[in-house]
Amino acid sequence: MAAERDFYQIQTYRLSDKAQEVRMDKYLKTAYLPALHRAGIKTVGVFKPIASDTAAGNQILVLVPLTSPDQLDKLQTTLAADATYQTAGADVLKAPHTNVAFARKQSTVLKAFKDAPRMFAPKFTTKRADQVFELRSYEGATEYLYSQKVKMFNEGGEIALFKKLGFNPVFFAEVLSGNVMPNLMYMISFSNMESHDTHWDAFGKHPDWKKMSSLDEYQNTVSNIIRVMYHPTDYSDL
């Protein structure tokens, strides 16, 4: 039985050069995503940092939605038994140590917030190269302060405000396992950069934001913010 909230795995592939990027694109497009589709995971996001976000470095991010934590465990067995995937992905899966297809892979496992229990797949008419998917990571100095920021998103009305203002939020989620904790992550999406800037300007000026952000219970809840702006690849399901 599926959980009441989604779970997510975010895989970040760090790349050393263009050759690795080309190999990973081929692997993801022709091997990994088709295998996930066969396994019942139909909407997988694949993203690359927009050219102007130079701090992000050369990377590919893969967002895999899950119906339960158990699905992630079973997926490894499913992929290992998928002969089509093993053959199509051999260039990456069985690459020699002297010619690997990526420099390093990072995995983060998350659980959706209660007020945003399911992933949302936006539909834009603009070119994918113009679309902006912004991923934000909010770290907390302590578990308590982190929990207060989670509360601000849910009971405090921050998620509701994002939806009210049309930010096309893909997900809001708590990090269950990752290299930086405690922290939460969320992804919002826009048809283009102009829309991104206009929406954030409206958010900062909105009376609901000014009211909630001034409350004592939500002060100092975020010790560090990391944001990366991506565009979806031509083969991404999102």
pLDDT digits (tens, 9 = 90+) for 155-180: 999 999 999 999 999 999 999 999 99
**DSSP one-letter string for the chain:** ---SS-EEEEEEEE-SSHHHHHHHHHHIIIIIHHHHHHTT----EEEEE-TT-GGG-SEEEEEEEES-HHHHHHHHHHHHT-HHHHHHTHHHHT--TTS-S-SEEEEEEEEE-TTS-S-------S-TTT-EEEEEEEE-SSHHHHHHHHHHHTTTSHHHHHHHTT----EEEEEEESSS-SEEEEEEEESSHHHHHHHHHHHHH-HHHHHHHTSGGGTT--SEEEEEEEEE-TT---
Contact status, residue 156 vs residue 218, Cβ threshold 8 Å: yes
Task: For tokens 């934000």, name the residue.
Answer: 136
Segment 138-153 shows an average pLDDT of 98
User: Is 99 exposed, middle or buried, given 0-12, 13-18 or 19+ CB atoms closer than 10 A?
Assistant: exposed
User: pLDDT value at position 1?
Assistant: 47
Q: Hey, what domains does the chain have and what are their CATH numbers? A: 7-232 (3.30.70.100)
Angle at CA of residue 37, ends 34 and 43, nearest 5°: 110
pLDDT in tens, 1-21: 456 899 999 999 999 999 999
pLDDT in tens, 86-113: 999 999 999 999 999 999 999 999 999 9
pLDDT in tens, 187-207: 999 999 999 999 999 999 999
Rg (CA), the chain: 18
Per the prediction, the chain carries an average pLDDT of: 96
Question: Whole-prediction pTM value?
Answer: 0.95
The token pair that represents 209 in the structure block: 């934001």
User: pLDDT value at position 2?
Assistant: 52
pLDDT at residue 35 is higher than 50: yes
User: pLDDT value at position 53?
Assistant: 67
